[in-house]
Chain A
Amino acid sequence: MTFLEALSAGFTLVAQWESIFFLGLGVTIGVIAGAIPGMSATMAVALTLPFTFALQPIFGILLLLGVYKGGIFGGSIPAILIKTPGTPASSATALDGYPMAEQGRAGEALSMSLYASCIADLISNLALIVFAAWLASFALNFGPPEMFTLIVFSLTIIAGVSGDSLVKGIVAAGLGLMLATIGLDFIAGTERLTFGSIDMRGGLNFIAVLIGLFALPEIISYMRKSEAQDHRVRGMGYSRLKWLDFRRCLKSIFRGSAIGVFLGAIPGIGAAPSAFLSYSEARRASPNRENFGKGELEGVAAAEAGNNGVAGATLIPLLSLGIPGDVITAIIIGAFMVHNLTPGPLLFLNNADIVYALFIGLIASSLLLLIIGSIAIRLFRYIADVPSNLLFPGVLVLCVFGVYAVNNSIFDVAVMLVMGVVGYIMLLLRVPAAPFLIGFILGPMLENNFRQAMLMSRGDLSIFARGPITILFLCLTAFSVVMIIRATMRAARLKREMATYAKTSQASGTQD
């Protein structure tokens, strides 16, 4: 089959109303599932999988991809409205999205999140189509040493999400890293910090920690000062995104998409680190740096571009090498296998029509996401009008159900509640939650890749300088650290000067 024949065959496959129907259905399921706290995109894809067995291959796969993309976007809706990230990937969105909602700018934040998602999604799909082969061979160069240096570099994003105090951010990240060590030791299989509990052997559930840390502290602080806020309607959700604001964020969206494509192509990283990296890069480059974390539109745009930029790119290792890049693509591989399609280089030879149909379908999915997403936003933003005394108890119930449903485990609910108290204490002490979460996400990757690399080299640290990739990331890390130290010292000096200036002016004031 020539390229053109395959392309036209693929087009015929997609140009059936069923294709568009299943794609749209998938996006709808995904957006709704993503918007329910605790019901992550991964779960939605897993639950949809059995329904695809009976469908034609192309319809089944388009349905799953629709769920995937819808789910990643859907997670941002509760992240913005109720500070409860629907999927782990949207926790970076909550950092600025929720403050915006509190200021009555939920509509603006939601629209920004949708546009950033769709643009990043489209860029990611185009990258998949154009650069698949090239990016796949690049991704194969990422062994444990390369991954370790990349994760070390990613840890520098802690500085970008620490808020006022870098020290507090580092403390929080350290706690997150420590919490991630609970469970079975990855290399030796021994138990660590499990206190003999069977439930602790598997480690702490990610979703439980996430929801406990982000959503519950809000609810607890509402409970403690509820009279003042009772019946307070935030009365919002109708603010519109202005064209000028949108254009200001475009740079961050493109940067976030590129980060997403890059991290998505490397198997095993996932959307959450990408969202945080994109966010911290946007903050570093933005003239509105001070406003990040307090309701900055650009922060929402960067975070959403970062996580949706991953969506198309994770299909690169899947389609060109047959390797699942994350948990979701591992499930999608199952759908390929059910229909006797083998992901990998052979797919392009044997089933070129399916591959091109998939490509065309992916492009269509970005458009469908835009349409279905704007309908969803219109429906969901009424949540913003629900009075707090009704909204918060409802959120609490949803959180409990959602966390229970992940693994049908009451232990996970207990983890969520304990993390909620921890999160509230952190809130009172003004210790930021985002670095904690980053530590918790990256901790296992950091440790596992380091130890795998040490096994490979039999304990020789020089393996971390074995090639251009590791050296590049080590240099980038060193550069970032120097920049962070300089920026922190400058800020400290500025503060000191302000203080002395205030003192002297005060002193001179009394002399007069």
Chain B
Amino acid sequence: MKTTLTALSMGAALATALPALAEYPTRAIQMIIPFGPGGATDLSARALSTPLSQIIPQPLVLTNRAGAGGATGSVAVRDADGDGYTLLLARVGSHTVNPAMNPNLPYTLEEFRFIGVYEINPVACVVRDESEFQTLDDLINAVQDRPGTVLYSSSGVGSLPHFGALMVLDAYGIGDLDENVIHIPTEGDGQGLTAVLQGTADFFCGSTSPAAPFIASGQMRPLMVTSSERLEGFDAPTVHELGKPELAALVGWTGIAGPADLPDDVVEKWGEWLAEAVQDEDFNRFMTTGGSIVELMSPEDSVKFVNDAYEIFRRLVVALDLEIE
């Protein structure tokens, strides 16, 4: 009874002291995931939120607002108050590929303030086990010899795998991509990989994480990875070994962003929280199992990283005339 009383009085003391401090955060923080549950972004966000919610003194509310390749959720955060209580899980698709390819997108990169990119996913090009292509060269030769017969799948128009395949082929000097290879868009990485597995498409160049189980079971073979060093479990040459270092820019990433008018103290706070959260053992294990690399960037580095990636992608989009009309 006595302890309860003490606890109560302490709580009351704290409660009265709080307004004086009034330090961010004073209420729950809503984190918007602009993709559906179970996707790469969703899993990454939920894995990160487990250590984060132990660090942040207020609850984190994760909300999926899927639709239009991440545009619906992104716009919701852009239009939210810049008070740090509505944040976005930004992803390569919503904040690099889509802005680069789609001039009609209702938002731009400048309309967001980046808090930190915390995860990088290398890209792997994969084929099914029975495929005739043993190396990337085989694939390139086939595209050159028999234009219009090689098909690749993606997780949708303006997605990383859509752009990834084109970027790889371009690096190998294949022009007139619309005519030479055929794009089969699907809905999501899972469907894109299924298309390769069942033979609807010949190859898929996307994040390593969804492809990892198929590689491990021998149903698929990797031909190339865009990481700087060879990846565990992916027995394939890196882009450096293949002599195409420019392809190292082809990586997926996940980060946290807010509306453009996010105040400095919020960004600073989140920097500290993220630095602590990414140390978490379970989180790291989960991310590396999926083939991701946990790498926390400072807000400045994050902005630079995202902008650089955007510039590279955009230049290619303009050069290859890949814009979505």
Interface residues of chain A, those whose CB is within 8 Å of chain B, are: 42-43, 45-46, 49-50, 53, 140-144, 183-191, 198-199, 201-203, 267-268, 321-324, 327, 330-334, 337-338, 340, 342-346, 407-409, 448, 452, 455-456, 458
Contact yes or no, B217 A344, CB < 8 A: yes
Residue of B whose beta carbon sits closest to that of A203? B67
Looking at the assembled complex, report how far the CB atom of B254 sits from the nearest CB atom of chain A, in whole angstroms.
15
Per-residue CB contact flags for chain B residues 37-54 toward chain A (1 = under 8 Å, else 0) read 111001100110110000
Interface size on B (CB < 8 Å)?
A: 59
Query: Known: A144-B200, A189-B324, A327-B38. Contact between A344 and B219, CB under 8 A?
Result: yes
Q: How many angstroms between the C-alpha atoms of A202 and B83 in the bound complex?
A: 27
Looking at the assembled complex, report how far the CB atom of A309 sits from the nearest CB atom of chain B, in whole angstroms.
22
Interchain CB contact (< 8 A) of B38 among A46, A201, A452, A458 = A46
200-238 of chain B: CB within 8 A of chain A: 200, 212-214, 216-219
Q: How many angstroms between the C-alpha atoms of A198 and B73 in the bound complex?
A: 10
Contact yes or no, B47 A338, CB < 8 A: yes
Q: Does B289 contact A (CB under 8 A)?
A: yes
Contact yes or no, B67 A334, CB < 8 A: no
Q: How many angstroms between the C-alpha atoms of A183 and B217 in the bound complex?
A: 37
Q: Does B158 contact A (CB under 8 A)?
A: yes
Per-residue CB contact flags for chain B residues 278-298 toward chain A (1 = under 8 Å, else 0) read 000010011001100000000
Q: Does B306 contact A (CB under 8 A)?
A: no
Residue of A whose beta carbon sits closest to that of B32? A408
Query: Known: A202-B66, A337-B289, A344-B213. Contact between A50 and B325, CB under 8 A?
Result: no
Query: Known: A190-B325, A322-B214, A407-B64. Contact between A330 and B219, CB under 8 A?
Result: no
Interchain CB contact (< 8 A) of B216 among A185, A203, A342, A452 = A342
Total cross-chain contacts (CB, 8 A):
150
Please, which residues of chain A bring their CB within 8 A of the CB of B263?
none
Q: How many angstroms between the C-alpha atoms of A426 and B46 in the bound complex?
A: 42
Q: Does B183 contact A (CB under 8 A)?
A: yes
Contact yes or no, B37 A322, CB < 8 A: no
Please, which residues of chain B bring their CB within 8 A of the CB of A345?
217-219
Looking at the assembled complex, report how far the CB atom of A127 sits from the nearest CB atom of chain B, in whole angstroms.
21
Please, which residues of chain A bring their CB within 8 A of the CB of B37?
42-43, 45-46, 49, 327, 331
12 more CB-based (< 8 A) A-B contacts, given A188-B157, A202-B68: A184-B157, A187-B185, A189-B102, A198-B75, A201-B67, A267-B194, A322-B213, A323-B193, A330-B39, A342-B216, A344-B214, A344-B216
Contact sample, A vs B, 24 pairs, CB 8 Å cutoff = A45-B37, A49-B46, A50-B49, A53-B46, A142-B198, A183-B68, A189-B158, A189-B324, A191-B104, A201-B67, A267-B191, A327-B37, A334-B38, A337-B289, A340-B289, A343-B213, A344-B214, A344-B219, A346-B213, A346-B216, A407-B64, A408-B65, A455-B182, A456-B151
Contact yes or no, B198 A143, CB < 8 A: yes
Query: Known: A53-B47, A186-B185. Contact between A331 and B198, CB under 8 A?
Result: no
Looking at the assembled complex, report how far the CB atom of B274 sits from the nearest CB atom of chain A, in whole angstroms.
18
Interface residues of chain B, those whose CB is within 8 Å of chain A, are: 36-39, 42-43, 46-47, 49-50, 63-69, 71-72, 75, 101-102, 104, 106, 148, 151, 156-158, 182-188, 190-191, 193-195, 197-200, 212-214, 216-219, 282, 285-286, 289-290, 324-325
Contact yes or no, B213 A143, CB < 8 A: no
Interchain CB contact (< 8 A) of A321 among B148, B197, B212, B286 = B197
Q: How many angstroms between the C-alpha atoms of A337 and B214 in the bound complex?
A: 12
Please, which residues of chain A bring their CB within 8 A of the CB of B64?
46, 407
Query: Known: A143-B199, A187-B157, A408-B63. Contact between A201 and B219, CB under 8 A?
Result: no
Interchain CB contact (< 8 A) of B198 among A45, A140, A455 = A140
Contact yes or no, A199 B199, CB < 8 A: no
Please, which residues of chain A bring their CB within 8 A of the CB of B289?
337, 340
Please, which residues of chain B bring their CB within 8 A of the CB of A343?
213
Q: How many angstroms between the C-alpha atoms of A45 and B66 in the bound complex?
A: 16
Residue of B whose beta carbon sits closest to that of A408? B63
Contact yes or no, B75 A330, CB < 8 A: no
Shortest 6 CB-CB contacts between residues of A and residues of B: A202-B67, A189-B157, A46-B37, A331-B38, A201-B68, A330-B38
Query: Known: A42-B37, A190-B324, A201-B71. Contact between A330 and B106, CB under 8 A?
Result: no
Query: Known: A189-B158, A346-B216. Contact between A456 and B46, CB under 8 A?
Result: no
Contact yes or no, A458 B65, CB < 8 A: no
Residue of B whose beta carbon sits closest to that of A348? B217
Residue of B whose beta carbon sits closest to that of A191? B104
Q: How many angstroms between the C-alpha atoms of A324 and B104 in the bound complex?
A: 32
Looking at the assembled complex, report how far the CB atom of B184 sits from the nearest CB atom of chain A, in whole angstroms.
5
Residue of A whose beta carbon sits closest to that of B183? A455
Interchain CB contact (< 8 A) of A327 among B36, B49, B200 = B36
Contact yes or no, A455 B219, CB < 8 A: no
Please, which residues of chain A bring their CB within 8 A of the CB of B104?
191
Query: Known: A46-B64, A186-B185, A334-B38. Contact between A198 and B43, CB under 8 A?
Result: no
Please, which residues of chain B bring their CB within 8 A of the CB of A333?
38, 190
Please, which residues of chain A bring their CB within 8 A of the CB of B46?
49-50, 53
Contact yes or no, B50 A53, CB < 8 A: yes
Please, which residues of chain B bring their CB within 8 A of the CB of A45?
37
Looking at the assembled complex, report how far the CB atom of B100 sits from the nearest CB atom of chain A, in whole angstroms.
13
Q: Which of A198, A340, A456 has most chain B Cβ within 10 Å?
A: A198
Please, which residues of chain A bring their CB within 8 A of the CB of B68?
183-184, 198, 201-202
Contact yes or no, B219 A321, CB < 8 A: yes
Q: How many angstroms between the C-alpha atoms of A143 and B73 in the bound complex?
A: 32
Interchain CB contact (< 8 A) of A456 among B71, B184, B191 = B184
Please, which residues of chain A bring their CB within 8 A of the CB of B193?
323
Q: Which of B67, B69, B199, B285 has most chain A Cβ within 10 Å?
A: B67
Q: Which of B38, B158, B325 has most chain A Cβ within 10 Å?
A: B38
Q: How many angstroms between the C-alpha atoms of A452 and B194 in the bound complex?
A: 14
Please, which residues of chain B bring their CB within 8 A of the CB of A50?
46, 49-50
Q: How many angstroms between the C-alpha atoms of A191 and B212 in the bound complex?
A: 33
Please, which residues of chain A bring their CB within 8 A of the CB of B197?
140, 321, 323
Residue of A whose beta carbon sits closest to that of B159? A189
Please, which residues of chain B bring their CB within 8 A of the CB of A43?
37
Contact yes or no, B216 A337, CB < 8 A: no
Looking at the assembled complex, report how far the CB atom of B215 sits from the nearest CB atom of chain A, in whole angstroms.
10
Looking at the assembled complex, report how far the CB atom of A441 sits from the nearest CB atom of chain B, in whole angstroms.
14
Please, which residues of chain A bring their CB within 8 A of the CB of B182?
455-456, 458
Contact yes or no, B47 A199, CB < 8 A: no
Residue of B whose beta carbon sits closest to that of A43? B37
Q: How many angstroms between the C-alpha atoms of A140 and B195 in the bound complex?
A: 9
Please, which residues of chain A bring their CB within 8 A of the CB of B212?
342
Please, which residues of chain A bring their CB within 8 A of the CB of B38?
46, 49, 324, 327, 330-334
Q: How many angstroms between the C-alpha atoms of A480 and B161 in the bound complex?
A: 40
Please, which residues of chain A bring their CB within 8 A of the CB of B198?
140-143
Interchain CB contact (< 8 A) of B106 among A198, A268, A340 = A198
Residue of B whose beta carbon sits closest to that of A143? B200
Please, which residues of chain B bring their CB within 8 A of the CB of A53?
46-47, 50, 282, 286
Please, which residues of chain B bring their CB within 8 A of the CB of A321?
197, 219
Looking at the assembled complex, report how far the CB atom of B163 sits from the nearest CB atom of chain A, in whole angstroms.
12
Please, which residues of chain A bring their CB within 8 A of the CB of B101?
189
Please, which residues of chain A bring their CB within 8 A of the CB of B195?
143
